[in-house]
Amino acid sequence: QTVVTQEPSLTVSPGGTVTLTCASSTGAVTSGFYPNWFQQKPGQAPRALIYNTNNKHSWIPARFSGSLLGGKAALTLSGVQPEDEAEYYCLLYYGGAWVFGGGTKLTVL
Amino acid sequence: QVQLVESGGGLVQPGGSLRLSCAASGFTFSDSYMNWIRQAPGKGLEWISYISGSGTTIYYADSVKGRFTISRDNAKNSVYLQMSRLRAEDTAFYYCVSGGTTYFDYWGQGTLVTVSS
């Protein structure tokens, strides 16, 4: 049973920078896992943010960026805005199957 | 613009069946991989099935393998999820999502499936 692990919750101040991570129980996350990141606000469907590690969808603000960091996939928000308060999910590819992380609840306070 | 509209959700008894549909518009559907992703109320996301543009490649999560069947009709710009032998733990919002392998992009608004007696 493959498990993808994210921080359950993080808090950041408006204007600050925060990094969310995504780890795989199988070992280091590499570009071959094609990490995707999604944002979900209460009562809404998820929205795609990042694909293939560090590619931003066209509708995503520049303050969002993706990377690999210390064997994990990472999502960094720079200059956080109040509207960035949401649940964030990563998704990793395991050759014919995809597994979501449990989500990180980001609070902007 | 891109639209994905799910339908077919509802209340079903344990052991019963249900067929979900997803109507797509605003992009070249036959070129697009499609997925079903679900979310139990108050819980996280779970990928459950993928189908390639031609329909020749299909994957399922272990949790639904043997019970759910994904299919598509490119002439109708639609993807389907036939669900059988439903269990209480299948209760969730079911989302139709375009993409696969390297990227996932557009999501529908979801349809709620409730499995209860």
- Residue B102, pLDDT > 90, answer no
Query: Does A51 sit within 8 Å of B104, measured CB to CB?
Result: yes
- Residue B100, pLDDT > 90, answer no
Distance CA B67, CA B81 (A): 10
Spell out which residues of chain A touch residue B44, defining contact as CB-CB under 8 Å: 89, 100-103
Sign of the Cα pseudo-torsion (B38, B42, B45, B48, in order): negative
Closest partner CB to A34 (pick from B44, B101, B105): B101
Tell me which residues of chain A have a pLDDT lower than 70: none
Closest partner CB to A47 (pick from B35, B50, B107): B107
Query: Does A48 sit within 8 Å of B106, measured CB to CB?
Result: yes
- Residue B9, pLDDT > 80, answer yes
- Token pair 């344990």 is found at B14
What pLDDT, in 10s, does the model give residues A54-63? 999 999 999 9
b/e sequence B32-54, b meaning 16+ C-beta within 10 Å: bbbbbbbbeeeeebbbbbbbebe
What pLDDT, in 10s, does the model give residues B15-61? 999 999 999 999 999 999 999 999 999 999 999 999 999 999 999 99
